[in-house]
Amino acid sequence: MTALSLKDLDIFYGDTQITYNVSLDIAEGESFALVGESGSGKSTVLKAIAGLAPQWTGKISVLGKARGHGVDRGFSRVCQMVFQDPYGSLHPRKTVDATLGEALTIHGIGDRSARVEEVMASVGLDRKFRFRFPHQLSGGQRQRVAIARALMLKPKILLLDEPTSALDVSVQAEILNLLKRLRREQNLTFLMVTHNLPVVSFLCDRLAVMRQGRIVEVAGIDELKRSELKEPYSRELMQISAAHAT
Ligand SMILES: Nc1ncnc2c1ncn2[C@@H]1O[C@H](COP(=O)(O)OP(=O)(O)OP(=O)(O)O)[C@@H](O)[C@H]1O
């Protein structure tokens, strides 16, 4: 089954059009990357799917159901977003417990305490952190909290916006391993924005290259690994990435 389908998605901020005819079909359990230059509209695509950029035309379907504009509770049970900067995305005056329990309260789900502990364990957070505030955690621990928050409602799809780029290099690998494990264990579908092609190779099955609001190429991970992307712009991206890696 298709987990996420975008058809001719044009997204606007006010009078400015940010994306043009973005169409994608992502299968259940697939991990898909959006790559491309800064400002090409990658994060905006995730925001539109999550209901955070409500001015769009076209069609967004999740597990076969078309979503409307704006926030949609039924939708947030199946699709959740993880942001780049865990410090910015966590409320500074809420403990880990309050942050993780919030979605359960909103959705009227009981057994709060057990679920908070279960999800903390699944993301590798010791119970001793449960009543800490974000400033009392490391960057990696904060991103684990942000991932745990996204998992509270047992979603099927995670939208990951540069989930490791704000972290130290050593911590990035831990979070990437965690995401890989969670995807396998919970059969999650990932749609991930990243600048980092090695991250795409590690975590994704396919990728779309975006430029100036348009998808210029969709390719499988083997094509990326063998440096066989076809479009000149995609090849330029691969060269820039290789130059940074050396
Ligand atoms: N809230 C907003 N209001 C108006 N314009 C915005 C807003 N957010 C983003 N934009 C504009 O939309 C365009 C696409 O931004 P977006 O963040 O989607 O790009 P991106 O490809 O994810 O870039 P980056 O890799 O730098 O995060 C940019 O020109 C940006 O300035």
- What per-residue confidence (pLDDT) applies to 246? 53
Is 18 near ligand 1, meaning CB less than 6 Å away? yes
Cβ(98)–Cβ(114) under 8 Å? no
- What per-residue confidence (pLDDT) applies to 68? 87
Ligand 1, atom 9, residue with closest C-alpha: 44
- What per-residue confidence (pLDDT) applies to 106? 85
Long-range contacts of 112-121 (CB under 8 A, 24+ apart): 115/152, 116/152, 119/148, 119/151, 119/152, 120/96, 120/148
Q: What is the DSSP string of 39-50?
A: TSSHHHHHHHHH
> Rounded CA gap, 207 and 148, in Å?
25
- What per-residue confidence (pLDDT) applies to 227? 86
Ligand 1, atom 8, residue with closest C-alpha: 44
- What per-residue confidence (pLDDT) applies to 228? 86
CATH number of the structural domain spanning residue 27: 3.40.50.300
Instruction: Provide the domain limits for residue 154.
Output: 2-245
Cβ(53)–Cβ(11) under 8 Å? yes
Note the pLDDT tens digit of each residue in 54-108.
899 999 999 999 998 877 778 888 999 998 877 678 899 999 999 999 988 888 8
Pairing of strands 31-36, 157-161: unpaired
Is 41 near ligand 1, meaning CB less than 6 Å away? yes
Q: What residue ranges of the chain have pLDDT lower than 50?
A: none
Distance 86 CA to ligand 1 centre (A): 19
| Total tally of structural domains belonging to the chain | 1
- What per-residue confidence (pLDDT) applies to 207? 96
Is 22 near ligand 1, meaning CB less than 6 Å away? no
Is 40 near ligand 1, meaning CB less than 6 Å away? yes
